[in-house]
Amino acid sequence: MQKISVIIPTYNRSHLIHLTLNSFLKQSYPDNLYEIIVCDNNSTDSTREVVKKIENDNPGKIRYIFEPRQGVHYARNTAAKESTADILYFTDDDMLADTNLLMEIVVPFNFDEKVASVTGRVLPNWEETPPEWIVDLCSNALLSLNDPQEDFIISRNDCNVFSCHQAIKREVFFESGGFNPENTAGEWVGDGETGLNIKIKKNGYKFGFNGRSIIHHIIPQSRMTQSYLNGRLANQGNCDSYTMYREEVFSNLQLLKQISKNIMLFFVVLLISIGMFSVGKNKYRLWFSRSFYFVRRVKYDCRLFYSSEWRAFVMKNDWLSE
């Protein structure tokens, strides 16, 4: 059996991190074959004290490290460099793991040697009963949930791999240059695991999904609001502009065309949302949020147009050498 490093970046989640850690301390995977690394991304609450207490109560099982540079990609990449295992398993500090998660996450690696990244089901753990429209519109990638009909998949596509539930072969992770930037000091600047998955695919590897490897995403009331949905789609706009520029390397003329198109689409989705609202359809919420998406696309592409430094930042591949 392969050794696994469970990597948990955390920032100001002292009220949740103990729940995540306790769920990973109860794994059915052999105790001597997995370690847990918590990378504190410059928290200002009592995260360090909470983790240190659990570390002391479980000697040799948990390692606490500190990453002062704000940005979850810094935390994940730093922890990966500190790891000792052949399989790196990434999750977040608001997740609850089923007992057999690690035992099941490694199964697809044994089906095809080209499988380099594996995920499983990500199910919601609602802190309170969600509004009906949230369940209808957001029980998907908008809340980092993944619950397909299939039980097992091997594919050249990424199977909706999110970094809250992602196992990667160590050598492939380092070959691919680690996680791209995403939420950095409160600003969404890149495409995170999306970019990493693209790099893995370009290097010729496959992805796996095992529906028996299950994790639950704790979803607070603050994520069951129109305001959260607006922000989520706005961040996706930044992410998509970053991804598209890396894929196409637009000239300034092409960027101007993109900017013009996205300005037009902003008005289109706004009008559609108004129309849906007027006839009482809940989907107006999603269309309204898409207006924020196109605003961010325009702003990000303008930044690419004006700044050669920003273009160089976006085109960077290796985020492990910093």
pLDDT 10s digits, 10-57: 999 999 999 999 999 999 999 999 999 999 999 999 999 999 999 999
Q: Provide the mean pLDDT of the chain.
A: 96
Residue 184 has a pLDDT of 83
Q: CB under 8 Å to 245, separation ≥6 — which residues? A: 301, 304, 311, 314, 315
Nearest Cα residue to 85 out of 110, 106, 55:
106
Residue 186 has a pLDDT of 78
Question: CA of 77: how far to CAs of 17, 31, 67, 125, 218, in Å?
Answer: 19, 24, 10, 27, 24
Per DSSP, the residues of 58-109 read STTTEEEEE--S-SHHHHHHHHHHH---SEEEEE-TTEEE-TTHHHHHTGGG
Position 278 confidence tier, pLDDT thresholds 50, 70, 90: confident
Residue 259 has a pLDDT of 98
CA 142 – CA 148 distance, rounded (Å): 15
Residue 322 has pLDDT above 90, yes or no: no
CA 263 from chain center: how many Å?
Answer: 28
In the numeric block, which tokens belong to residue 227?
């305001």
Looking at 110-114, 237-241, 278-282, which range is the least confident one?
Answer: 278-282
- Matching residue, tokens 């992805």: 207
Residue 81 has a pLDDT of 97
In the numeric block, which tokens belong to residue 283?
């989907």
CA 253 – CA 281 distance, rounded (Å): 39
- The residue-averaged pLDDT of 108-127 equals 97
Residue 183 has a pLDDT of 86
Question: CA of 317: how far to CAs of 174, 178, 282, 321, in Å?
Answer: 11, 8, 40, 10
Position 281 confidence tier, pLDDT thresholds 50, 70, 90: confident
Q: CB under 8 Å to 135, separation ≥6 — which residues? A: none
Per DSSP, the residues of 123-154 read EEEESSPPPHHHHHHHSSGGGT-B--S-SEEE
Looking at 124-133, 227-236, 271-280, which range is the least confident one?
Answer: 271-280
Residue 159 has a pLDDT of 85
Residue 321 has a pLDDT of 87
Kindly report, residue by residue over 170-195, the tens digit of the pLDDT.
Answer: 999 999 999 999 988 778 999 999 99
Position 132 confidence tier, pLDDT thresholds 50, 70, 90: very high
Nearest Cα residue to 272 out of 301, 293, 250, 296:
293
Residue 310 has pLDDT above 80, yes or no: yes
CA 153 – CA 140 distance, rounded (Å): 18
In the numeric block, which tokens belong to residue 121?
């089901």
- The residue-averaged pLDDT of 70-90 equals 96
Residue 20 has a pLDDT of 98
